[in-house]
A = this chain, B = another copy of it.
Amino acid sequence: MPAKRRTKEYDNRPIGLFDSGLGGLTVVRAVREALPDEDVIYLGDTARVPYGNRSPETVELFARQDLAFLEKFGIKAAVAACNTVSALALPNILHEKHSFPLGGVILAGVEAVLASGRRKVAVLGTRGTIASGAYEHALLAADPRLIVRSIACPLFVPVIEEGVTNGAIVHEIFDLYLAQLLRDPPEVVLLGCTHYPLFRPALSQYLPKGTLILDSAAAAADYLSRLLKEKGLCAEPGRNGRAQYYVTDRTPGFERLARRFLDAGDGEVIDIHLADVVNT
């Protein structure tokens, strides 16, 4: 009965994604584009954003609470769509047993760099991510021959959140952080922050032709695609995967921001609920 056996191979359980805030929605967008059959549950811990200012212990505690919340939905895989969690909490959490495979944006980004075959890498990220050295460490652990420079770009997030993604301000801010880098241009630029894919078009214009831009949103979608195939966890082809969004606080403007990160049209309904992850 091959037909019946094939049906059994599909797994329509949702994928869980979480972030300290809303930036991780760029990962949801990339995942939904790459894997349209899959259901997605997103949790943004907007009540406690940003995690970047917290101690590693606190970030780990919050990440465990976020994962516990997602686990209730019977997820088949989870991705920390948050650089702070990926840097500070995942190294501990990954070593433990879970009922589902778990990945993070940093290792996904590192895999994308390795797959590119290029050696001269520049990582752009928030001050916290760059100060953690997590990308540099993971890249050099994966391939010690890589030449890695890391650049903190603290104004990228507020400018993106203000909806300014091209034009004179963006160009000036690129100059502020990247002018020095371009004296010795990298072959590949890894966007180590979930907000940064919104700067991708402006960065393509700004960086020298031929510079490869990799972002952790697309990289996480690639990671999930491979993972689901390898583990036989893919949803049934042709079904219309749906996304549900949870936030821990309805912070001012969160829906406007969510739409921006998801690139959602005005008429598109986004199903956002309030979550209580602490008392789960």
Contact = CB atoms under 8 A, between A and B. Distances in A.
Given A154-B162, A158-B154, A252 B128 contact: yes
How many copies the complex holds: the figure is 2
Contacts of A127: 252-253
Interface size class of A (residues with CB under 8 A): 20 to 34
Given A53-B251, A252-B128, A168 B162 contact: no
Interface of A is mostly: helix
Interface stretch (A23-31, A66-74, A90-98, A169-177): A169-177
Nearest to A167: B172
A264 interface: no
Interface string A150-164: 000011011101101
Given A127-B253, A155-B164, 4 more contacts: A154-B161, A154-B162, A169-B172, A169-B173
Q: Which 6 A-B pairs have the closest CB atoms?
A: A158-B158, A169-B172, A168-B172, A53-B251, A155-B162, A154-B162
